[in-house]
Structure 1
Amino acid sequence: MKLINFIIEAPWLFLIIAGFAGYFQTVTGFGLGMIVMGLAGGLGIAPVATVAAVISLMTLVNCVVALPGRLHHVHWPSVRATTLGIIPTIVVGVLLLDYLSDGAATVVQILLGLVILYAASGLLLKANRQEQVASRASFVLFGGLSGFLGGLFGIAGPPLIYHYYRQPLELIRIRNTLILMFAVTSGLRTLFVVGRGEMNMDILTLTVWAFPVIAVATWIGRHWPPPFSAATMRRLVFIILMLIGVSLIVAGLFS
């Protein structure tokens, strides 16, 4: 009977979304947070604040596993500047989400739709590389944008991904620097949420459920990638996220 109740009470739709997101990130290298927030948050499976906290925890664990032995590939000068931008704006993002969640669900819905559209556009956007590494101020600026989105919805990736892939750095250095920055963003957001006493059982339960599903989806992605290219996968998720983003905005405006 306990096993039956355990199976019935499982958040199956959320786990399906997490599995799809984990598989997609394995075969393309990015997208877990965007997909989970876009589908789980957009479809109302769980409160946006809960989904954002779960995404931060999943991202943090993923980064901690991926980083050991690769820190020598990190571009440290940009890390310091980017972190300066992240710290204050991630607090602003979390506080704004708390404020809006209390009585402005429609505004949260529209903002989420806009962020998802922005994130979706990044799937197909190709950044032209610069001849020299950008200024310290630019890393602070893009760090601030990522911190705000990370605090608001747990989706810190798009601004940083766009900015770093424009830099004349080796791809391995870009990838590992981004992993570290995602760890910083997720870690800071999680610490702030814990400090405010908002790390509840719903967040922890969803996270515990999601970890093994994402692990299995990652293993499947490594051994059985899709029969079409990563570019096709990006277009597919681009279409899905665009539809969700537009529907959230339209529903919010008419409500």
Structure 2
Amino acid sequence: MDIVAEVPWLFLLIAGLGGYLQTVTGFGLGMVVMGLAGGLEVASVATVAAVISLMLLINCVVALPGRLQHIEWPSAGAVMVGVVPSILAGVAMLHYLSDEASSVLRVVLGGVILYGAAGLLLKPTHQAHVASPASFTLFGGFSGFLGGLLGIAGPPLIYHYYRQPLPPARIRNTLILLFAVTAGMRTLFIAVQGQLSLDILALVGWSLPAVVAATWVGRRWPPPLSALAMRRLVFAMLMIIGASLIAAGLTF
């Protein structure tokens, strides 16, 4: 199927919605795009995961210059130890499920989106001391696996980092670096396997202007809602998407 010829505008609308929500709330791009595009079967989960990884990589590369001195390097190094091998396992699992058990893949995707949605309203309890390197490696493994499987590496690392007694700006910059590493490793791996097709690159090329435009709109015309109300709105949207994917997978 020629993805660009068949469904570009629907995908662009979904990418624009994800970009707008990311701008006005600070989260949601990957989960919204993956959930809607995968649920509506706009493109395969493998294709959408590859597109999200490339979009995230470009976003992080643009955001990182000038911020490297504000990164929590000891924990970031520990996370990378867990991320690299688990990404490979996640990509391998994606290809197996795509070929052998697409209904299971829908259920897994729905579950991850529900998990991410729950994290929007649950406020992590701060720890008294920074966690051990082993815990960062463990959460890095979880995130790397989800990044490899679905292109959504954020939820475990975001939850773990925001429990640490670290300055919020340092946490944000560290997460940007780690998401860049995750997206870059995933993209490199599928490129080496010959799976970085022209359709994927074309979708990225089409999607970036839509996300940039949606970001500009979000900054200029944010919705007349409080931050808490917006979080609740996105939470409800993700819960509906996740539950729908699980229901579709169980009845497939």
TM-score range, shorter chain: over 0.9
Q: How far does the alpha carbon of each residue in 1:159-178 deviate from its partner, in whole angstroms, 9 at most, with x for none?
A: 00000000111111000000
Residue aligning to 2:39: 42
Residue 45 and residue 8 in structure 1: after superposition, are their counterparts in 2 closer, same or farther (change >3 A)? closer
**The residue matched to 2:225 in structure 1 has which SS?**
coil
Q: How far does the alpha carbon of each residue in 1:115-174 deviate from its partner, in whole angstroms, 9 at most, with x for none?
A: 111111111111011111100000000000000000000000000000000011111100
Tell me which amino acid in the other structure corresponds to 1:132.
H
Aligned partners of 1:211, 1:74: CA distance in 2, in Å? 27
**Pair 1:141-2:138 in alignment:** yes
Residue 19 of structure 2 contacts residue 212 of structure 2 at CA under 8 Å; is this kept in 1? yes
RMSD of aligned alpha carbons? 1.3
Residue 7 of structure 2 contacts residue 42 of structure 2 at CA under 8 Å; is this kept in 1? no
Q: How far does the alpha carbon of each residue in 1:89-124 deviate from its partner, in whole angstroms, 9 at most, with x for none?
A: 110000000011112111111111111111111111
Instruction: Identify which range, 50-59 or 215-224, moves more after superposition.
Output: 215-224
State the TM-score, normalized to the length of structure 1: 0.95
**Pair 1:196-2:180 in alignment:** no
**Pair 1:80-2:74 in alignment:** no
Query: 1:60: how far off?
Result: 0.2
Residue aligning to 1:92: 89
**Pair 1:114-2:136 in alignment:** no
Tell me which amino acid in the other structure corresponds to 1:32.
L
Query: 1:236: how far off?
Result: 1.2
Aligned partners of 2:26, 2:246: CA distance in 1, in Å? 28
Tell me which amino acid in the other structure corresponds to 1:229.
S
Aligned partners of 2:250, 2:104: CA distance in 1, in Å? 9
Aligned partners of 1:27, 1:183: CA distance in 2, in Å? 21
**Pair 1:12-2:9 in alignment:** yes
Q: How far does the alpha carbon of each residue in 1:165-207 deviate from its partner, in whole angstroms, 9 at most, with x for none?
A: 0011111100000000100000000000101000012211111
Residue aligning to 1:185: 182
Aligned partners of 1:8, 1:215: CA distance in 2, in Å? 22
Aligned partners of 1:182, 1:8: CA distance in 2, in Å? 30
Instruction: Identify which range, 157-166 or 223-232, moves more after superposition.
Output: 223-232
Query: 1:8: how far off?
Result: 7.9
Instruction: Identify which range, 99-108 or 141-150, moves more after superposition.
Output: 99-108
Aligned partners of 1:175, 1:163: CA distance in 2, in Å? 12
Aligned partners of 1:10, 1:43: CA distance in 2, in Å? 11
Residue 42 of structure 1 contacts residue 112 of structure 1 at CA under 8 Å; is this kept in 2? no
Residue 10 and residue 153 in structure 1: after superposition, are their counterparts in 2 closer, same or farther (change >3 A)? closer
Q: How many residues align?
A: 249
Residue 79 of structure 2 contacts residue 136 of structure 2 at CA under 8 Å; is this kept in 1? yes
Q: How far does the alpha carbon of each residue in 1:222-245 deviate from its partner, in whole angstroms, 9 at most, with x for none?
A: 222111122212211211111121
Question: Which of these residues, 205, 209, 214, is aligned with residue 206 of structure 2?
Answer: 209
1:167-178 pair list within 5 angstroms: 167-178=164-175
Seq. identity, %: 67
**Pair 1:60-2:57 in alignment:** yes
Question: Which of these residues, 145, 155, 160, is aligned with residue 158 of structure 1?
Answer: 155
Question: 4+ residue stretches of structure 1 with deviation over 3 A?
Answer: 7-10
Aligned partners of 1:90, 1:10: CA distance in 2, in Å? 28
User: What runs of 5+ residues in structure 2 fail to find an aligned partner?
Assistant: none
Query: 1:10: how far off?
Result: 6.0
Aligned partners of 1:111, 1:215: CA distance in 2, in Å? 30
Residue 159 and residue 220 in structure 1: after superposition, are their counterparts in 2 closer, same or farther (change >3 A)? same
